[in-house]
Structures are given as structure tokens and as C-alpha cells.
């Protein structure tokens, strides 16, 4: 019997200003842990995780964490092109990071065209507000922005794990829905969406390891 390890592969990119919490968000989603100390991303970091959408279809997510600093923009632009979705990340305690979101969205759209990416506006560091920090972007304002542009909105905390899973699952489900309704399809030369592959015997994706080569004597 041949069982698929995953049915589709989606490539998602995280974009936003430096220090808004992109790396912490990804590390919690992929490792289930919060990194107390996190160095700024230099260029691009890569993560991956396997999840299931509502009907049980298995999706492998390729997740690209981009640097927010201006000097790395020429590097990260090449990673937009083959992405099908983007998480627009801002810090709920940093108004400037929210004000820059339209620029990040415009840049993503320009480089991902002719494909129409799935966006999710993601507010990070909600735990700081809970612990007495000063919120600079209200939930209502962020939601109004999301409604205006027709994108999803989630507020998260990578420290407590609040809504981290929801942010990624929201984008994944929307991409899958667009495949189902015919808006998206697998295309040669574009890595945003790829079909999965199978391994004989129905072995578990996380448990399969290459066996050492065996020598034979004459």
C-alpha cells in the first residue's frame, strides 16, 4: 500500500519590520517553544511543518522567515515570487510596525503577481499588553484594516502560544479552499503550491530514516 506523506506543499512567507516577532512566531509554531533570546534574522531562515486542514488533507508548509532590515530587502524579494501566502506581521505595542504593513503588502503583491496571495494580518506580542505594556494598535483598528483589504486578522503571543496555530492554519485553509474552488492550481515553474509525494508501506513521515548502506561480500 502506498500512503501519501502529504497531499500538497504550500510555501508561505513572513514579512514585516525587524523585531516585530516573526522568528518567535515561527519557532513556536514549529517547535512549540518560545525563545527568550532571539537574534535578528539575517537574510532568510527556513522552517517546515506538516498539518491537516479541515477535511483531513495533509499539507506540508514551507515557511520562510525574512529579515525586516532594509539592507536585506534585495535578498528577500526573490523569496516572494514562489510564495502563495504571506503573514503580515506587526507588534501590537509598536505603532510604526503597523503603519508599515501597507508597504509590505504592496511589495508582496508586486512580486507574487500574477498570482493572488493569501494574506493574514498578524499582531504579535499580545502578552506584553496582558502584563501591563502599552498597546499602540487597537484590535478594532487592525480588524478594520483587515476588513478594508479583505484579509484575515489574528492577534497572537509567541510567549504563551495564544492563536499562533490559528494564524498559520487560517492561511493554509484559505489556500486549500482556493485550490478546491479552482482559483489556484499546481503550475510548472511556480513553487507556491506543489503536489505531495508518497512512500511505499504507509510509513510515518516523521519516523522514516535512511537505512545505512549494506555491503555484500563476493
170 phi and psi angles, rounded to 5 deg:
-60, -45
Q: Domain of residue 65: give its range.
A: 8-195
**Is residue 209 one of the residues assigned to a domain?**
no
**CA atoms of 72 and 17, how far apart (whole Å):** 12
Report the chain (218 residues): mean pLDDT per 10 consecutive residues: 78 92 93 71 73 96 74 62 94 97 93 92 95 95 98 97 97 98 93 81 40 35
What pLDDT, on a 0 to 100 scale, did the predictor assign at position 203? 44
**Is residue 190 one of the residues assigned to a domain?**
yes
**Is residue 218 one of the residues assigned to a domain?**
no
pTM over 0.75: yes
- Count of structural domains, the chain: 1
**Is residue 34 one of the residues assigned to a domain?**
yes
What pLDDT, on a 0 to 100 scale, did the predictor assign at position 198? 64
CATH code of residue 108: 3.40.50.300
Taking the CA atoms of the chain, what radius of gyration do you get in angstroms? 19
Q: How many Cβ atoms sit within 10 Å of the Cβ of residue 163?
A: 18
Q: Which residues are registered as beta bridge partners of 78? A: none
Q: Which cell numbers hold the place of 120?
A: 493574514
Element at 195 (helix H, strand E):
strand 193-195
**Is residue 63 one of the residues assigned to a domain?**
yes
**Is residue 90 one of the residues assigned to a domain?**
yes
Amino acid at each position: 500500500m502506498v500512503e501519501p506523506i502529504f497531499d500538497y506543499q504550500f510555501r508561505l512567507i513572513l514579512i514585516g519590520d525587524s523585531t516585530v516577532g516573526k522568528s518567535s512566531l515561527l519557532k513556536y509554531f514549529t517547535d512549540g517553544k518560545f525563545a527568550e533570546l532571539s537574534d535578528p534574522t539575517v537574510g532568510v531562515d527556513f522552517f517546515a511543518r506538516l498539518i491537516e486542514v479541515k477535511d483531513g488533507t495533509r499539507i506540508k508548509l514551507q515557511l520562510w522567515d525574512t529579515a525586516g532590515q532594509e539592507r536585506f530587502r534585495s535578498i528577500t524579494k526573490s523569496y516572494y515570487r514562489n510564495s502563495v501566502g504571506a503573514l503580515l506581521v506587526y507588534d501590537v505595542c509598536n505603532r510604526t510596525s503597523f503603519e508599515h504593513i501597507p508597504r509590505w503588502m504592496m511589495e508582496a503583491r508586486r512580486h507574487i503577481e500574477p498570482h493572488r496571495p493569501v494574506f493574514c494580518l498578524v499582531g504579535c506580542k499580545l502578552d506584553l499588553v496582558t502584563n501591563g505594556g502599552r498597546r499602540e494598535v487597537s484590535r478594532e483598528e487592525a480588524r478594520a484594516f483587515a476588513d478594508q483589504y479583505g484579509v484575515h486578522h489574528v492577534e497572537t503571543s509567541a510567549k504563551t502560544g495564544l492563536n499562533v496555530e490559528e494564524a498559520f492554519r487560517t492561511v493554509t485553509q484559505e489556500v486549500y479552499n482556493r485550490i478546491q474552488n479552482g482559483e489556484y492550481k499546481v503550475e510548472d515553474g511556480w513553487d507556491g503550491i506543489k503536489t505531495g509525494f508518497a512512500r511505499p508501506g504507509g510509513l510515518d513521515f516523521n519516523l522514516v530514516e535512511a537505512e545505512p548502506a549494506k555491503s555484500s561480500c563476493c
